[in-house]
Amino acid sequence: MWRGRKAWNGPLLCCGLIVLCSCSPSWDVDWPRFGGDAANSQFSRLDRINRHNVGQLETAWVFHTGDLGESPRTQIQCNPLIIDGVLYGTTPRLKAFALEADTGKLIWMFDPFADGTRSGSGVNRGVSYWSDAAESRILYTAGDYLYALDAETGETIEDFGNGGSVDLHHGLDREVGDLFVNARTPGIIYKDLLIQGTTLSEGPETAPGHIRAYNVRSGERKWIFHTIPHPGEPGYETWPEDAWTRIGGANAWTGLALDEERGLVFAPTGSAAADFYGGNREGANLYANSLVALRASTGELVWHFQFVHHDLWDRDLPAAPNLLTVERNGTAVDAVAQITKSGHVFVFNRETGEPLFPIEEQPVPSSDLPGEKAYPTQPFPLRPPPFARQSMSEEDINSLSSVKDALLTRFRQIRSGGQFVPPSLQGTLIFPGFDGGGEWGGAAHDPDRGILYVNSNEMPWILTLVDVGTEQNRLAFSAGKYLYTVHCAACHG
């Protein structure tokens, strides 16, 4: 049985103010991975705090990261881990720390920028934890480096990579120079491997988003999956012949899910770069905008599904998938569910990639931009129903707005009519907006009730492409680039 509801859900944020209360005998249940567990369920059975007593909570302790400084433009998106009574997290300036979870007392803090050669900024969503009988390690990224720390002391593991860190620019099977390569979301641990995606920029000059696995002891790259296929690899034919040497993106920035028993890792990928014009990347562009199931031990492709062919709308997959079990015709089927920015949930057989609900390839509008060849069809799931509205009409414009007439005039000037109306010089309505539908907080799965909870956004955007060949538009481009660099680049590259 499949059931779906719209409800609030987001990652557990480590926000300086942490509230605790007396708990049930199972108070020491760990939260050992980003998203709670390997299946990315984002679910806990702890029930002593509920809607009836949540108003009785009192502050137990407060921990200040000390990162506010002179600028208020800081944030914590970290989903902290709780392991054996220790909280592991990251600060707005990308330091890693460990606290006593019951008191908030600082155990250690690691500052990768302490030598002053680089500065810490941007976003980090958490850390990964690995242990064996002899030791335990924290693996996390700050800027363009992957670090391995002793979980007890916070000191770098000197024999990991180059003195405790690995430069993410290296090992991409292509020279990327100083292009933006980051990893805001922690990788996932499988045995002695850290499987890691990356965050990239989204402009014309972008690194490839290949997925890599590192040995947690040595930092050595053990395998790589080319999300932009190289010659001779499946999917190579869906790109121009030289795309693997020059096109970037198709990166797994959201986090991963892992079926440990089957040894399968599930990676959702983003758009090929640049986001809104694909005249230089004709074809479907596998494995951009895809869910890929890989052998966790080798990186071998088991199956894939592409949600958007030749993406022109920044419809990258916004969150890690959820592993769950559904009942089909009286039989329990292990499945993987993927939410999308368009407000859909796609559900697949975890082993085979077979859709559990019908998906139809339907014709979509073509592009009238010079050099652009929008893909002629796109996949539409017929079930479950979307969790966000799929179109916007004049009737949806706020009738009480003091600028309603201006809004109506603008609405009538642009193109609209569904999910896959191509970008245009005239302006194209994107709804749900660039940030969903589904967003990076993802979905949560309650296995006891068989319910998937999704936080749904609905914000219309207007996408307008501009010919930068004119002097006026070149000046506007320069101004826009400056504004983006100041206000947006810290999060979006």
Find the length of the chain: 493
Token couple for 203: 């402009």
Residue 374: what residue type? Answer: A
Residues 290, 267: Cα–Cα separation, whole Å: 8
Q: Assess contact for 195 and 256: CB atoms under 8 A.
A: yes
Look at residues 95, 101, 76 and name the one whose alpha carbon lies nearest to residue 14: 76
Look-up of token digits 């997959």: 317
Of residues 144, 259, 311, 314, which has the active-site annotation? Answer: 314
Q: Assess contact for 240 and 256: CB atoms under 8 A.
A: no
Q: Identify the three-state secondary structure at position 273.
A: coil
Largest Cα–Cα distance in the chain? 69
Q: Tell me, what DSSP letter sits at residue 47?
A: -
H-helix segments, 196-295 = 243-246
Q: Assess contact for 256 and 203: CB atoms under 8 A.
A: no
User: Within 13 Å, how many C-alpha atoms sit on residue 204's CB side?
Assistant: 3
- Annotated catalytic residue 314: yes
DSSP string for residues in 94-105: S-EEEEETTT--
Work out the burial of residue 18: count CB atoms within 10 Å of its CB; fewer than 13 is exposed, 13-18 middle, 19 or more buried: middle
Token couple for 313: 């709308």
- Whether the bond between 384 and the residue before it is cis, its omega within 30 degrees of 0, is yes
Residues 445, 7: Cα–Cα separation, whole Å: 11
Contacts of residue 6, Cβ cutoff 8 Å, sequence gap at least 6: 387, 453, 454, 455, 456
Residues 344, 193: Cα–Cα separation, whole Å: 32
Q: Which residues are catalytic?
A: 314
